[in-house]
Amino acid sequence: MDLGLYLHIPFCSAICNYCNFNRGLFDAALKEQYVAALLLEIAGKGEGAAADTIFFGGGTPSLLEPSEVAAIIAACRGAFALSDSAEVTLEANPETVTPERLAGFRAAGVTRLSYGVQSFRDEELQRLSRLHSASRAADAFAMARAAGFDNISLDLMMWLPQQSIAQWLESVDALIELGPDHASLYILELYPNAPLRDAMARSKWSLAPDDDAAEMYLEAMSRLDRAGYRQYEISNVARPGRESRHNVKYWTDGEWLGFGCGAHSTRRGVRWKNVSSTTEYIAAVANGGRLDTDRRVLTGREALEEALFTRLRLADGIDLDEVKTRYGADVLALYGQELERFRDAGLLIYDGRRLRLTRAGMLLANEVMSVFLTATVVD
Ligand code: SF4
């Protein structure tokens, strides 16, 4: 399988009150130094290997100038054998785009846009301290279509403070009405010190009961089914052929190289992460210092477990014959007994060749996947 290339862009115009990603406030001078460092890192790691996806993630990659995006793509092309039909995704925030910038990104070689919309209700966006409005998100989508983007993904978040099931479904319906090619639906997860927790306490905002969160997920997926989308992963749906080729590598045991601060890589059974701090990253590239941290070789057992729990995220589930060929492991012999209770509860389906989660099982995926971390496997 060809490599995926991930470029981390750690700058945002403001910091959202629920965000736990590796990011900081935009600073034009720092961004210029960072892009220069990225170009050096890419050139230094080039080895001519085949790659077929590039993913600009963040942070807010759409804060880059189109010329910077073009230079980074050109560096990837110079260092790797990038396929002519490569999928090149840029994550974008709706408030950052204009028709000119979108035309520039397209001319730079971006083939796919992924907008962080999160909600089509203004009061919810304000509670999340997002900078855009619902109408700005719809405008950004229309601008991208007008600029010629035929592969657009929209992200939404459910189970927001004060959000009812009906209000969540308003956002789902608004998304369906726009008709993106792909959508990602996430349940809001609040990390321990998230400023949103304080805002919720101050303003007495609450979350709907757990059962409502389950209904939000199941009803949204049903509506997307009816609108012609296919759910291919726990949180992702797409029109046929519009699945994220880059992200599918993460779920199918693929290989990828990450560039930029905090970026993760997996190659030939080895996993590592770049230094997280933006300034340390820039200094390390400039001094020719080590960028990688946490480098480790996966054991046979770790590789098998990771393959199983990431593949189980996919609607197609685990191909038992493929796992046998690749890892020499008989999944049912190793884990069958432990998995039985999930099958009995209607969370898991085993059809002879494949093991996959039902939609209800997707809501409890972590519980099912924990079987692959607790059972005893011989290396
Ligand atoms: S725009 Fe995205 S990456 Fe930046 S702070 Fe908000 S949620 Fe985090």
Distance 5 CA to ligand 1 centre (A): 21
Q: What are phi and psi of 323, to 5 degrees?
A: -65, -35
Q: pLDDT digit string (tens) for 209-233? A: 999 999 999 999 999 999 999 999 9
Cβ atoms < 10 Å from Cβ of 360:
14
Distance 36 CA to ligand 1 centre (A): 23
Q: Assess whether the C-beta atom of 262 lies below 6 angstroms from ligand 1.
A: no
pLDDT for the residue 46? 80
pLDDT for the residue 220? 98
Q: What angle do CA 318, 322, 327 make, to 5 degrees?
A: 100
Q: pLDDT digit string (tens) for 69-96? A: 999 999 999 999 999 999 999 999 999 9
Distance 79 CA to ligand 1 centre (A): 29
Q: Assess whether the C-beta atom of 93 lies below 6 angstroms from ligand 1.
A: yes
pLDDT for the residue 265? 97
The residue ranking higher by pLDDT, 379 or 326, is: 326
| Rounded mean pLDDT, 15-43 | 96
Q: Where are the alpha helices (DSSP H) in the chain?
A: 28-45, 66-79, 99-108, 122-127, 134-146, 165-178, 195-203, 210-226, 245-251, 278-287, 300-311, 320-327, 331-344, 359-363, 365-369, 371-374
| Rounded mean pLDDT, 28-57 | 95
Q: What angle do CA 324, 327, 329 make, to 5 degrees?
A: 55
Supply the residue whose CA is at minimum distance from atom 3 of ligand 1.
59
Distance 115 CA to ligand 1 centre (A): 12
Please report where in the chains the tokens 């045991």 appear, as a residue: 253
The domain ranges of the chain are 3-250, 300-374
269: closest CA among 254, 259, 247, 249? 254
Rounded CA gap, 230 and 237, in Å?
Answer: 5
Supply the residue whose CA is at minimum distance from atom 8 of ligand 1.
19
pLDDT for the residue 247? 97
- pTM of the model as a whole: 0.96
pLDDT for the residue 176? 98
Rounded CA gap, 169 and 118, in Å?
Answer: 12
Model confidence at 9, in pLDDT bands (50, 70, 90)? very high
Distance 139 CA to ligand 1 centre (A): 20
Supply the residue whose CA is at minimum distance from atom 7 of ligand 1.
19
Q: What angle do CA 140, 142, 147 make, to 5 degrees?
A: 95
Q: Assess whether the C-beta atom of 22 lies below 6 angstroms from ligand 1.
A: no
Nearest atom in ligand 1 to 19's CA: 8
Model confidence at 378, in pLDDT bands (50, 70, 90)? very low
Nearest atom in ligand 1 to 15's CA: 5
Contact 354, 319 (CB under 8 A): yes
Contact 218, 60 (CB under 8 A): no
Q: Assess whether the C-beta atom of 62 lies below 6 angstroms from ligand 1.
A: no
How many Å from the N-terminal Cα to the C-terminal Cα in the chain?
25
- pLDDT of 114 over the 90 cut: yes
Q: Assess whether the C-beta atom of 16 lies below 6 angstroms from ligand 1.
A: yes
Q: pLDDT digit string (tens) for 290-317? A: 999 999 999 988 899 999 989 999 999 9
- The rounded Cα 249 to chain-centroid distance in angstroms is 11
Contact 147, 103 (CB under 8 A): yes
Supply the residue whose CA is at minimum distance from atom 2 of ligand 1.
59
Rounded CA gap, 226 and 333, in Å?
Answer: 38
Cβ atoms < 10 Å from Cβ of 211:
9
Identify residue 214 by its one-letter amino acid code: A
357: closest CA among 324, 297, 312, 311? 312
Nearest atom in ligand 1 to 23's CA: 3
| Rounded mean pLDDT, 274-278 | 97
255: closest CA among 236, 238, 275, 272? 272
Distance 27 CA to ligand 1 centre (A): 15
Pairing state between β 24-25 and 11-12: parallel
- The rounded Cα 194 to chain-centroid distance in angstroms is 20
The counts of H helices and E strands in the chain are 16, 17
Architecture of domain 300-374: Orthogonal Bundle (1.10)
Rounded CA gap, 57 and 285, in Å?
Answer: 20
Query: 3-250 — its CATH code?
Result: 3.20.20.70
Give the Å distances, CA to CA, from 81 to 43, 74, 77, 86, 266: 13, 11, 6, 10, 18
Q: pLDDT digit string (tens) for 245-260? A: 999 999 998 999 999 9
pLDDT for the residue 377? 46
The pLDDT mean for the chain works out to: 95
pLDDT for the residue 376? 46
Portion of the chain with pLDDT greater than 70, in percent = 98
Q: Assess whether the C-beta atom of 60 lies below 6 angstroms from ligand 1.
A: yes
Q: pLDDT digit string (tens) for 173-190? A: 999 999 999 999 999 999
Give the Å distances, CA to CA, from 36 to 1, 31, 59, 69: 29, 9, 17, 12
Model confidence at 1, in pLDDT bands (50, 70, 90)? confident
Nearest atom in ligand 1 to 130's CA: 6
| Rounded mean pLDDT, 167-172 | 98
Distance 17 CA to ligand 1 centre (A): 9
Determine the length of the chain: 379
Structure tokens at 265: 């890589």
pLDDT for the residue 374? 59
Distance 80 CA to ligand 1 centre (A): 29
